[in-house]
């Protein structure tokens, strides 16, 4: 091979490599630009009522098996890597059947999830809610109980429980006591009362959340998820 032929082969190889790099850059650039733009976005301007409407529309899609699986593309992964702007905070039970992103048909970065058995309040839970409202500007907080909640059943039964499990039942017991003797199913009555009492207790437990509600920046609602139908009913 002559020197001129060798140089020609190197030039053609470099040209192909350059072309390949250009194609790769072109395919990635839109996603990177999207992510960079997201990094410059202010906190979401969606209203509290608008956030609730968006959430419930997603639940309707879930019930009707018409889910759109939003915000789950590769571009969304890159976008939320730069920062998060969730539109709703959900305090839900740890129950494996009550996954907020699924039952509300939402995606990455849409919901600020707080999950604990029996959807109970403690300092860590309240602090997480305060962070979402004060630092992330999340306009909606949902306390989400659910049908046939095991933690609520334990509180209704009132039997001794091992380890720290009893602390869950103890936190729910006020709802059990408040509904004792009421007509209907004692278990579901307690589920609903626990959600409503949690919504009311937040006003006393967190001045930060109370002030955000008073200023119209935050809406706090309570819901009950039906395991059989998949429907979320707003009850508080």
Adjacent-strand bridge partners of 145 = 224
How many residues are there in the chain?
A: 236
| pLDDT of amino acid 1 | 52
Neighbours of 219 (CB within 10 A): 18
CA neighbor of 154 nearest in space, from 93, 91, 223: 93
**DSSP 8-class letter at 143:** E
Neighbours of 165 (CB within 10 A): 13
**DSSP 8-class letter at 97:** T
Mean pLDDT for back-to-back runs of 10 residues, the chain (236 residues) = 45 40 38 37 76 98 98 96 97 98 98 98 98 98 98 98 97 98 97 98 95 97 98 98
| pLDDT of amino acid 51 | 98
Q: Cα–Cα distance between 169 and 167 in angstroms, integer? A: 6
| pLDDT of amino acid 25 | 35
User: Rounded to two decimals, what is the model's pTM?
Assistant: 0.82
CA neighbor of 219 nearest in space, from 147, 132, 135: 132
């Amino acid at each position: 091979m002559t020197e001129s032929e060798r140089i020609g082969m190197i030039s053609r190889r470099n040209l192909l490599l350059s072309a390949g790099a250009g194609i790769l850059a072109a395919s990635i650039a839109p996603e990177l630009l999207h992510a960079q733009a997201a990094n410059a976005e202010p906190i979401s301007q969606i209203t509290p009522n608008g956030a609730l409407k968006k959430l419930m529309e997603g639940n309707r899609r879930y019930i009707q098996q018409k889910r759109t699986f939003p915000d789950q593309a590769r571009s969304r992964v890159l976008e939320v890597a730069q920062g998060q702007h969730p539109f709703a905070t959900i305090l839900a039970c740890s129950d494996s059947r009550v996954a907020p992103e699924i039952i509300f048909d939402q995606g990455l970065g849409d919901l600020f999830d707080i999950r604990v058995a029996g959807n109970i309040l403690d300092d860590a839970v309240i602090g997480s809610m305060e962070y979402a409202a004060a630092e992330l500007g999340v306009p909606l907080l949902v306390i989400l109980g659910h049908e046939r909640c095991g933690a609520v059943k334990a509180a209704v039964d009132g039997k001794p429980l091992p380890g720290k499990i009893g602390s869950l039942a103890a936190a729910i017991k006020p709802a059990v006591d408040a509904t004792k003797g009421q007509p209907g199913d004692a278990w579901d009555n307690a589920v609903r009362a626990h959600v409503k009492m949690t919504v009311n207790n937040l006003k006393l437990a967190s001045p930060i959340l109370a002030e955000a509600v008073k200023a119209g920046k935050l809406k706090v609602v309570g819901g009950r998820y039906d395991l059989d139908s998949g429907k979320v009913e707003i009850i508080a």
